[in-house]
Amino acid sequence: QEQRRRLLAVATRFPLPSGTFSYGTAGFRADGATMAPAVCRAGILAALRSVKLAGAAIGIVITASHNPVGDNGVKIADPDGGMMAQHWEPFADALANAPDPDALLQLVLQFAKDEGIPLGGQDTAQVLLGRDTRPTGAYLLDAALQGINAIVGANAIDMGILTTPQLHWMVRSKNKGAKASESDYFTQLIGSFRRMLELVPKDKGGDEVAKKLIVDGANGIGGVKLEQIKVELSGLDIIVRNSGKEGEGILNHMCGADFVQKERVTPHGFSPDDVSVRCASLDGDADRLVYFRLSSASDSRVDLVDGDKILSLFALFIREQLDIINNSGGQTNKSLSARLGIVQTAYANGASMQFLKSLGLEVVFTPTGVKYLHKRALEYDIGIYFEANGHGTVVFSEDFISQLESLSNGLSSQAATGSAQYHAVMRLLAASQLINQAVGDALSGLLLVEAILQYKGWSFQNWCELYSDLPSKQMKVKVKDRSVIVTTNAETKVSQPCGLQELIDKETANYTHGRCFVRPSGTEDVVRVYAEASTQVEADSLTKSVAHHVE
């Protein structure tokens, strides 16, 4: 009775606006001012999910990532810190679109019955909440709290203004029974970064690797957090631009990882004086990371290091440590059995795939969206995934981590802590602590990049030269109904409408190294066209001619 009363009351307080919500690739997203009903319902859903999972902590993040400051959104994290299990998405959609309080109540009761979710108990659910710096954030956080509190026995914990990956990390840590506050997060990041630097060979690091790093914070939360910890990152001299301070500019406007990766020009706040300095760019909620460098002092074009090249650096480093451990013929003849897998999407530059395969690595593809890549990466002992746009991380299996731990114990009991093998084991352990295994995290990714550059004694230029990107082009095409396009094979082929794939193949055959695919966007009402070819002119022209067939 109390449960029914609360649900009806909260649904009455947040009547549905016009338009429909769809959980999409990354949760619900819309104009921030219209989001309260959907966010409130996401709160109900998160609490139900926690009840279903025996009270395990669930996360809610209120953010619209790289989208304009007026937008906002809501996303739910599962107990392992990853994205909410996909089989709950249809319920999320139904709940968000329930037309009136009665319909909402019936939907919840029916779903609870079908899923075996016991309603009405005490202390049955806990939900951690975080939000980014958007002006509608506090208002929407309140709507989420009201949604959570509409489920009897649910406890909500507001973790404050955070990056998206911080909240995912907290959920994961909490459910592992580990410390889960923001200061615990920073302690882990700073501590493991320091250990990585201590393990840099003495002949490396030094002067080749410039300590200076300029970070474009997208005027979002990532810059704020980086300012907070940068003094503790010895070995790095970090300057934050677009830090989100009063007067520095608008969130994601002419800055941030999405802008830099798509436009390939310097973000707002950079000048010709920055030429040749290593720069990084985060997005508004700090789950995307790209690097860049001003190409010349005379214009604003940049040399871009995208997610593919970050992935390649990580893969190279991890592969090297595994080789040291297994081939050093050193103190122990125990070797590690580790399945190392790389996960990319169709947007990965063809040159990156060639490079990774030339290292003998297993490379697989999934559709766009972190939820698909992450899940696939978990199938390996070490799974490395990245989207070209800078979303990505490394995940380690528990079994592999315990193999490393026992190897390190064995080596130290043999007084072999000076061996190359021991150092490689310790580097992998430190990397597994530094990288955020819940979800892609620009801050932790940035520190891992910096540690690896120092380890290798590499400049930005050395990193760039791992391989050269094939020229590529992206275009959006506005269509009446994007759902008429259906794709298969990790979005590389069109299965519907009939005949479109043949047209794409025919156009592509006219170009050397030509590759092209089209897919309906998961976040906007458009169809995206992507093409690669051996010159920029050819890539542009292939994109254009295929876009013409889509219109």
State the binding site for substrate.
387-389, 519-523, 528
287 touches Zn ion by CB under 5 A: yes
In SS3 terms, 143-154 reads as HHHHHHHCCCCE
Residue 469 binds: one of ligand 16G, Zn ion, none (C-beta under 5 to 8 A by kind)? none
Name residues whose C-beta falls within 8 Å of residue 186's C-beta, 6 or more positions apart in sequence.
Answer: 228, 229, 232
Report CA torsion sign: 34, 158, 149, 119. positive
Q: Are strands 289-294 and 302-305 parallel, antiparallel or unpaired?
A: antiparallel
Q: Which is nearer to ligand 16G, 270 or 365 (CB)?
A: 365
Question: Among 258, 285, 491, 538, which residue interacts with Zn ion (rule: CB under 5 A)?
Answer: 285
Name residues whose C-beta falls within 8 Å of residue 40's C-beta, 6 or more positions apart in sequence.
Answer: 10, 13, 14, 143, 144, 146, 147
Task: Determine if the peptide bond prior to 497 is cis (ω within 30°).
Answer: yes
- Name the active-site residue from 50, 65, 192, 408: 65
Q: Which is nearer to ligand 16G, 134 or 528 (CB)?
A: 528
Active site residue 472: no
The residues with which 60 forms a beta bridge, in sequence order, are 76, 129
Using the rule CB under 5 A, give the single segment among 220-228, 276-284, 312-320, 453-461 that binds Zn ion: 276-284
State in angstroms the smallest separation of the CB of 526 from ligand 16G: 8
Residue 391 binds: one of ligand 16G, Zn ion, none (C-beta under 5 to 8 A by kind)? ligand 16G
Please give the full DSSP string across 104-148, using - where no structure is assigned: HHHHHHHHHHHHT---S-SS-EEEEEEE-S-TTHHHHHHHHHHHH
**Euclidean distance between CA atoms 418 and 428, whole angstroms:** 16
* Residues at the contact surface with ligand 16G, assessed by CB under 6 A: 25-26, 65, 368-371, 387, 389, 391, 521-524, 528
Q: Closest Cα partner for 49 from 30, 69, 77, 13?
A: 77
Using the rule CB under 5 A, give the single segment among 194-202, 283-291, 447-455, 457-465 that binds Zn ion: 283-291
Query: Binding site for Mg(2+): what residues are annotated?
Result: 65, 283, 285, 287
Question: Among 283, 306, 441, 469, which residue interacts with Zn ion (rule: CB under 5 A)?
Answer: 283
Using the rule CB under 5 A, give the single segment among 75-83, 281-289, 479-487, 498-506 that binds Zn ion: 281-289
Using only C-alpha atoms, what is the Rg of the chain? 24
State in angstroms the smallest separation of the CB of 82 from ligand 16G: 10
Residue 381 binds: one of ligand 16G, Zn ion, none (C-beta under 5 to 8 A by kind)? none
Q: Which is nearer to Zn ion, 141 or 356 (CB)?
A: 141
**Euclidean distance between CA atoms 431 and 246, whole angstroms:** 35
Q: Closest Cα partner for 384 from 346, 437, 453?
A: 437
State in angstroms the smallest separation of the CB of 160 from Zn ion: 18
Residues that bind Zn ion (CB under 5 A): 65, 283, 285, 287
* Catalytic positions: 65
